[in-house]
Amino acid sequence: MDLRAETPLFTGSDWDFALVNRIYEAIEPIAVDEMKLNVYPNQLEIISSEQMLDAYSSVGMPLFYKHWSFGKQFVTNEMLYRKGLRGLAYELVINSNPCISYIMQENSATMQALVIAHAAFGHNHFFKNNYLFRQWTDADGILDYLEFAKRYITLCEERHGQLAVERVLDAAHALMNQGVHRYPRVRPRDLRREAEREAERQAYRESIYDDLWRTVPIGAKAATIARDERLAVLGLPQENILYFLEKSGPQLAAWQREILRIVRLIAQYFYPQRQTKAMNEGAATYVHYRIMTMLHERGQITNGAFLEFLQSHTGVVYQPTYDSGHFGSFNPYALGFGIMTDVERICMDPTQEDREWFGDIAGSGDPLEVLKDIWANYRDESFISQFLSPRLIRQWRLFKILDQENDSEIRVDAIHDERGYRRIRRTLAHEYDIGQQEPDIQVVDVDLAGDRLLMLEHVVLNGVLLDEGDTTMVLQNLANLWGYEVALSEVDAENRNELRSHQAQPQPEWMR
């Protein structure tokens, strides 16, 4: 069959709705029938660049509660955009069912094709199939839940005043990263039910409320509970600080607890995204690259359009070297796409080295099957630690450095050679392990019968302490929510010596 038999879908860079539709209809059979991608139904929404700025600023969500920090983000983004320091993303995709992809009206026809392949099929497939998203997120319910959250918070503002709500949100945002359960008790999220349950809780509280009971003396019998028992009752130690506050904060009103809950559930919803940046972007990039190549091979896009595509594509997967002056960290697009194309090579055309390292996939002949399995069952950390090949380490000339506190110099610990491959791979995987990257902070005890001092512990790895200034501020927020003194002690992971400690007293005017 003549591969270039078809006429191109478009020739210029202009697009209209009919064309977007034709492009979609050309891509869909490639993605679904040939690549066998398993996707949610798609919805494409065309927006202007100003709306894209809007969308950016509320963590990419179409509806969100109101808070000044989103305004701050908007202001920053707009500023960078106006000055031309930063372009806008071409697309924005939401993990929901149907999967919503925003595309900008300013994009050229080629870019629309790229974006549809990237977001509507690449990300969409990843969202629907990756185990973390399946376990932690509820694509069917998220939009309804956000709607509920927005309404609820507006209601709170009407009832309790904007300032009071803002305080709770500020404090909750500061603790947002400490608002996730890291280890799943596998229980599918049902966010739609969440909203209903809040209504039920409220109704129940109202039905049982009897003012008389407030005046019944409780007595002092609770004074002597054994520590073990106390910890068991409170579910301590607890790494999810927001959850602990929501359940046990003695000073919080019901609506304040509910706001903590909202922030916590949203943090949890985004938790998988934070763990799969390289994979998610890598998968989407791999998918768009493959689809655009096929469109070109079949003559459905012109040489010119393909060149335009390649230019954007190479821009996206560009990885500066450490000494290039604009190196920040690894580009997740480059890293994900690099390893995935390498996996494809290992499946199709393995060397002896690949056979030794990747016996189970080398020469399997079906890279797409292997990749789909990877997309479904790995996160960044396990993905890198399994599939970063020696060849890629050599190609990227990766090396590992060791920076020790009591050493005046930095040591090159491993380079791209036989002795270094595994160590480099392990260290890089480590860098993508969110459990390693984020400090391990837990609520360890609370003196409920005494002064209600809340005790937290940071287990210090490799002697890296918390940032002092930020910690003081976050702790202040925590104390305000808790309502009593809070203490955080930083202890060495190995010998449990206390390295530093912080305290905070609640601000008296806070609850007013």
Partner 1 sequence: MHIVDRRLNPGGKSLVNRQRFLRRARAYVQKAVRDSLKDRSIRELDKESEISIGRDAIYEPTFHRAGKGGNRERVLPGNHDYLEGDRIKRPEGGEGNGADAGTGEGNDDFQFVLSREEFLDLFLDDLELPDLAKRRLIGGEVDGIRRTGYSTAGSPSNLSVPRTMQKAMARRMALRRPSGAEVQRIEEEMATIEALDPLRPEDADRLKRLREDHAHLVRRRNLIAYIDPVDLRYRRFEAVPRPVAQAVMFCLMDVSGSMSEHMKDLAKRFFALLHLFLSRCYEHVEVVFIHHTDRAAEVDEQTFFYSTVTGGTLVSSALDKLIEVAADRYRPDNWNIYVAQASDGDNMMQDNARVISLMQDHILPMTQYVAYLEVGRDKFPDAATTQPMTTLWQAYAPVAEAHRHFVMRKVAHRQEIYPVFRELFQRRGLGEGAPN
Q: Contacts with partner 1 in 169-228 (CB under 8 A)?
A: 170, 173-178
Place of tokens 């985004």: 270
- Residue 463 — left, alpha, or beta (φ > 0 → left; ψ -120 to 50 → alpha)? left
State which residue, 399 or 510, has the beta carbon closest to partner 1: 399
Contact call for residues 178 and 271 (beta carbons, < 8 A): no
State which residue, 81 or 306, has the beta carbon closest to partner 1: 81
State which residue, 376 or 415, has the beta carbon closest to partner 1: 415
Q: How far is the C-alpha of 90 from the C-alpha of 106, rounded, in Å?
A: 9
What does the per-residue mask of binding to partner 1 show for 48-87, with x meaning CB under 8 A?
Answer: x-xx-xxx-xx-------xxxxxxx-xxx-xx--x-----
> Which tokens sit at 122?
């690449």
Interface with partner 1 by CB under 8 A: which range of 122-130, 250-258, 368-376, 420-428?
420-428
Phi/psi at 45 (5° precision): -120, 130
Interface with partner 1 by CB under 8 A: which range of 87-95, 221-229, 307-315, 391-399?
391-399
Of 397, 435, 501, 505, which one interacts with partner 1 (CB under 8 A)?
397
Q: How far is the C-alpha of 355 from the C-alpha of 347, rounded, in Å?
A: 10
Of 31, 35, 37, 44, which one interacts with partner 1 (CB under 8 A)?
44
Side chain identity, residue 167: R
Instruction: In angstroms, give the least distance from the CB of 467 to partner 1.
Output: 4
Q: Contacts with partner 1 in 448-467 (CB under 8 A)?
A: 458, 460, 462-467
**Total residues at the site for partner 1 (CB under 8 A)?**
101
Place of tokens 């990419």: 60
Residue among 304, 317, 233, 283 nearest 117 (CA): 283
Q: DSSP secondary structure string, 160-185?
A: H-HHHHHHHHHHHHHTGGGSS-SS--
What does the per-residue mask of binding to partner 1 show for 307-336, with x meaning CB under 8 A?
Answer: ------------xxxxxx--xxxx------
Q: Contacts with partner 1 in 239-298 (CB under 8 A)?
A: none
Of 193, 411, 449, 501, which one interacts with partner 1 (CB under 8 A)?
411
Interface with partner 1 by CB under 8 A: which range of 130-138, 188-196, 283-291, 468-476?
468-476
Instruction: In angstroms, give the least distance from the CB of 490 to partner 1.
Output: 10
Instruction: In angstroms, give the least distance from the CB of 11 to partner 1.
Output: 21
Contact call for residues 63 and 105 (beta carbons, < 8 A): no
Cβ atoms within 10 Å of 304's Cβ, excluding its own:
13
Q: How far is the C-alpha of 288 from the C-alpha of 123, rounded, in Å?
A: 10
Instruction: In angstroms, give the least distance from the CB of 25 to partner 1.
Output: 8
What does the per-residue mask of binding to partner 1 show for 9-38, with x meaning CB under 8 A?
Answer: --------x--xx--x---x----------
Contacts of 198 (CB under 8 A, 6+ apart): 148, 152, 258, 261
Contacts of 111 (CB under 8 A, 6+ apart): 90, 308, 312
Of 113, 146, 295, 424, which one interacts with partner 1 (CB under 8 A)?
424
Of 473, 503, 505, 507, which one interacts with partner 1 (CB under 8 A)?
473
Alpha helices in 252-366 (DSSP H): 254-275, 277-297, 303-316, 332-348, 352-357
Using DSSP's 3-state secondary structure scheme, residue 429 falls into: helix
Q: Is 382 in the site for partner 1 (CB under 8 A)?
A: no
State which residue, 71 or 304, has the beta carbon closest to partner 1: 71
Q: Contacts with partner 1 in 111-140 (CB under 8 A)?
A: 120
> Which tokens sit at 28?
């869909």
Instruction: In angstroms, give the least distance from the CB of 440 to partner 1.
Output: 10
